[in-house]
Amino acid sequence: MKNFLPLLILLCSLNINAQENFKFPTYPGCQKQKTNDELKKCFYERLSDEIRSEFYEQDHFWIENNNINQTTLVFTVTKNGDLANFSYTKDSNPEAAKFFLKHIYRVKKHYESRGKKFIPAKNDGKPIDFQIHYQFRYHQSK
């Protein structure tokens, strides 16, 4: 029994240290969200709204039928709150992916001009680089 208590204390302390304190990056306007799930949902909703607002203005992408394509955009929210390393997955349409990524870059510049930045992800209270993989579904003309 004497050996059990120190072992229990050791296991509890290891469990506490093994848990990481991670916070999802924050999109401008999502600062009121508290949990990682709320931050993630708000991030992707705002990103979708920004892309769609530009996308709907580009008639050459849209058609009336139900052919749906998907593009996976990849970028990093840096530990400084910048967006960098823009790319897309191999299975994405390059033309559409480049169009969307350019728009995300313009959105970033727009927020910067207003003095707003993305708040970086944090691990144990320290800012970290965090890679975003965003799947965007759209109709595209052939």
Question: Where in the chain are the domains?
Answer: 22-139
Residue by residue, DSSP assigns 36-77 as HHHHHHHHHHHHHHHHHHHHTT-GGG--SS--EEEEEEEEEE
6/9 Cα distance (integer angstroms): 5
Q: How high is the pLDDT of residue 15?
A: 44
- pLDDT tens sequence across 77-127: 999 999 999 999 999 988 888 988 998 999 999 999 999 989 999 999 999
pTM greater than 0.85: no
18/36 Cα distance (integer angstroms): 18
